């Protein structure tokens, strides 16, 4: 028998250890970054894996993103009518689970939860594929369903939840531990790196949250639990899962060893053809629901361009604008790590509270950067393209394109531009976007963006403080 684990304590200890690692590293400026010779990595456009981007989106969003769009039903079983609920009480939950839901700060179901939860909790169990962007309540929906399906009298794993990485599994585990706070009879276990089980052991915990490789080892290699006894299988971050080398095959192998009546819950932030083909391997006769993404809009954003002769003039323009406009917080986008490190170091020496986020930071460092920026400890975040999508910080009032976004052919990347400047002007508020132009090529890119969106990008003289003051009024 596996020893009983205080799972909530385990999550707390994990967070504590992560915090201890984070505190060992100073990252409020660029001085700790690698400034040795100009490596190809430093000069190349910064790249982040889908798993990293997904984790950062979860970290920055501590509350729900309000989405006014309705749920779109893509596919449903005509024999299974779809219901929606406007309160958690309507779901007839275990009272202690309901207490945990309220403790987490959920007062009423989000848009995706309204339709997903009645489906996930229905009898007989329904298979579900659900898609909506990060921050809309997907994790809480499937965690609540997982906890509701447990029969605590049976001392073996009944629910299996797969995440693509250790960090994402821990995130799900934190939600589960808090939601199950008043249900001590429900036991859970992480199947992630660093967790080991003794030879010949048999797991007695009800819920396993883990990564595909570790789950495969424990179930099929060491046989510490029986996949045939799993009654609920959750695949989280499915779009990330299939983008990660090897995970798709591992998930299919795990799925093949599950019993026929096992309920499938499939959650994804994107919904392209590749994801759907993968879903068809995993989910039989699913109900498929989708929450349309809120459209990025330029309606509340005033766009400007500043002519600069070189990189130093671009830096001077940033200082002039930031020093004159009464901004809450600012995000500055750079094309490469080298530029981000150079700019953050110079701004820090001028006494600005600056953080830098780029591809050479560890996961712990990135989490710390985002937490500090969200809390307002640093007012300026200098970053590469990892933050162009999915980050909503209400206090961000200005976005600066230190380098305009370009595609692999050197042409204007209008999609990335929209997502970048969409970080300001959120929640119906007015935002400002500044584009720094230092060559005829970048002027051409700016004009291409202007034509693409049919929106005027106005000239701004960054040396005229009166003119700068006007844009901030």
H or E element that contains 311: helix 311-324
CA 376 to chain centre: 20
Pairing, β 431-437 against β 396-401: parallel
Q: What is residue 337's DSSP assignment?
A: H
- What residue numbers bound the domain in which 137 lies? 66-291
- Domain CATH for 366: 3.40.50.300
Same domain, 377 and 457: yes
133 close to 390: Cβ distance less than 8 angstroms: yes
DSSP H/E element including 170? helix 166-179
Q: Which of 291, 310, 343 is the last residue of a domain?
A: 291
- The DSSP string of 226-241 is -GGG--EEEE-SHHHH
Same domain, 217 and 361: no
Same domain, 207 and 81: yes
- Residue 71 pLDDT class (50, 70, 90 cuts): low
**Could you count the other beta carbons within 10 Å of the beta carbon of residue 342?**
20
200 Cβ contact list (under 8 Å, min separation 6)? none
Note whether 304 and 250 are same-domain residues: no
Beta strands 287-291 and 71-75, pairing class: antiparallel
- The percent of residues above 90 in pLDDT, for the chain, comes to 33
Tell which of 243, 265, 291 closes a domain.
291
Over its C-alpha atoms, the chain yields an Rg (Å, rounded) of: 24
Let me know if residue 14 belongs to a domain: no
Is 60 domain-assigned? no
Residues 275 and 309 in one domain: no
Q: How many domains does the chain have?
A: 2
In a shared domain, residues 299 and 286: no
> Which residues, in sequence order, are CB contacts of 111 under 8 Å at separation 6+?
67, 69, 70, 71, 132, 136, 137, 291
Q: Is there a single domain that holds both residue 119 and residue 161? A: yes
| CA quadruple 403, 407, 412, 414: dihedral, nearest 10 | -100
Residue 248 domain-assigned (yes or no): yes
- The answer on 175 and 106 residing in a single domain is yes
Are 404 and 435 spatial neighbours (Cβ–Cβ below 8 Å)? Answer: yes
CB contact at 8 A, 419 and 452? no
Is 9 among the domain residues? no
In a domain, 3, yes or no: no
Residue 320: per-residue pLDDT? 86
Question: pLDDT, tens digit, for every residue of 291-331?
Answer: 765 555 677 788 999 999 999 999 999 988 877 766 668 88
User: Which of 186-200, 344-358, 421-435 has the least mean pLDDT?
Assistant: 421-435
Q: Of 181-190, 280-289, 290-299, which gets the smallest average pLDDT?
A: 290-299
Report the pLDDT value the prediction gives residue 22, as an integer from 0 to 100. Answer: 36
For residue range 198-255, what is the model confidence (pLDDT) as tens digits? 878 999 999 999 999 999 999 999 999 999 999 999 999 887 787 676 788 899 899 9
Specify if 438 maps to a domain: yes
């Amino acid at each position: 028998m596996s020893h009983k684990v205080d799972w909530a304590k385990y999550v707390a200890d994990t967070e504590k250890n992560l915090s201890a690692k984070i505190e060992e590293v100073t990252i409020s400026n660029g001085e700790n970054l690698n400034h040795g010779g100009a490596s190809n990595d430093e000069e190349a456009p910064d790249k982040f894996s889908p798993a990293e981007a997904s984790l950062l989106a979860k970290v920055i969003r501590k509350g729900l993103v309000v989405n006014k769009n309705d749920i779109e039903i893509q596919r449903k079983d005509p024999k299974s009518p779809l219901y929606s609920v406007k309160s958690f009480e309507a779901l007839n939950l275990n009272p202690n689970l309901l207490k945990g839901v309220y403790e987490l700060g959920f007062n009423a179901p989000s848009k995706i939860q309204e339709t997903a939860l009645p489906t996930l909790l229905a009898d007989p169990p329904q298979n579900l594929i659900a898609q909506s962007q990060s921050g809309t309540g997907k994790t809480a929906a499937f965690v609540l369903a997982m906890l509701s399906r447990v029969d605590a009298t049976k001392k073996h794993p009944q629910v299996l939840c797969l995440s693509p990485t250790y960090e994402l599994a821990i995130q799900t585990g934190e939600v589960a531990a808090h939601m199950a706070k008043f249900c001590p009879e429900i036991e859970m276990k992480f199947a992630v790196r660093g967790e080991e089980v003794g030879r010949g052991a048999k797991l007695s915990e009800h819920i396993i949250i883990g990564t595909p490789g570790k789950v495969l080892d424990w179930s099929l290699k060491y046989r510490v639990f029986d996949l045939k006894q799993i009654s609920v299988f959750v695949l989280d971050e499915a779009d990330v899962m299939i983008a990660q080398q090897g995970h798709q095959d591992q998930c299919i192998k795990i799925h093949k060893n599950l019993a026929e009546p096992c309920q499938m819950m499939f959650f994804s932030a994107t919904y392209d053809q590749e994801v759907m083909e993968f879903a068809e391997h995993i989910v039989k006769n699913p109900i498929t629901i989708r929450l349309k993404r809120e459209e990025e809009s330029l309606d509340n954003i005033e766009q400007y361009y500043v002519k600069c002769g070189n990189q130093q003039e671009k830096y001077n323009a940033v200082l002039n604008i930031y020093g004159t406009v009464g901004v809450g917080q600012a995000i500055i986008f750079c094309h490469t790590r080298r530029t981000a490190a150079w700019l953050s170091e110079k701004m820090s020496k001028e006494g600005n509270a600056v953080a830098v986020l780029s591809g050479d930071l560890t996961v712990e460092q990135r989490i710390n950067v985002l937490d500090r920026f969200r809390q307002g400890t640093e007012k300026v975040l200098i970053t590469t393209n990892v933050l162009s999508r999915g980050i909503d910080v209400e206090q961000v009032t200005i976005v600066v394109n230190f380098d305009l976004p370009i595609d692999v052919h050197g042409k204007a990347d209008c999609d990335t531009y929209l997502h970048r400047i969409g970080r300001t002007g959120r929640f119906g508020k007015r935002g400002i976007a500044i584009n720094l132009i230092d060559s005829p090529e970048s002027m051409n890119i700016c004009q291409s963006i202007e034509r693409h969106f049919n929106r005027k990008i106005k000239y701004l003289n960054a040396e005229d403080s009166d003119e700068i003051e006007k844009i901030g009024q």
